[in-house]
A and B are shown apart, each in its own frame.
Chain A
Amino acid sequence: MRKRIGAVVFLVFFAFLLLSVYDLHEFGAPPSEMDDYIIKNTQNETGANNAVTAVVFDYRGYDTLGEATILFTAVAGVMVLFRKGGENEE
Chain B
Amino acid sequence: MKSEGLSPIVQTIAGILFPMILIFSFYVIMHGHLTPGGGFQGGAIGASAVVMLIVAFGAKNIEKKIREEKLSAFESIGGVVFIAVALLGLVMASTFMSNFLVGDIIFGKIPPFGSNLGILNSGGILPILNLAVGMKVIGGLSAVVLVMALASKEEKNDI
Contact = CB atoms under 8 A, between A and B. Distances in A.
A9 interface: no
Interface residues of A, number: 29
A71 B137 contact: yes
B123 A79 contact: no
A47 B118 CA distance: 9
Interface stretch (B2-10, B12-20, B48-56, B103-111): B103-111
Contacts of B111: 43, 47, 49
A7 interface: no
Contacts, number: 113
A62 interface: yes
Contacts of B40: 67
A79 B147 contact: yes
A58 B33 CA distance: 11
Given A57-B126, A58-B126, A61-B97, A50 B36 contact: yes
19 contacts: A43-B110, A43-B113, A45-B102, A46-B124, A47-B111, A47-B124, A47-B126, A48-B124, A48-B126, A52-B36, A52-B38, A53-B33, A57-B126, A65-B82, A72-B79, A72-B140, A75-B75, A78-B144, A79-B147
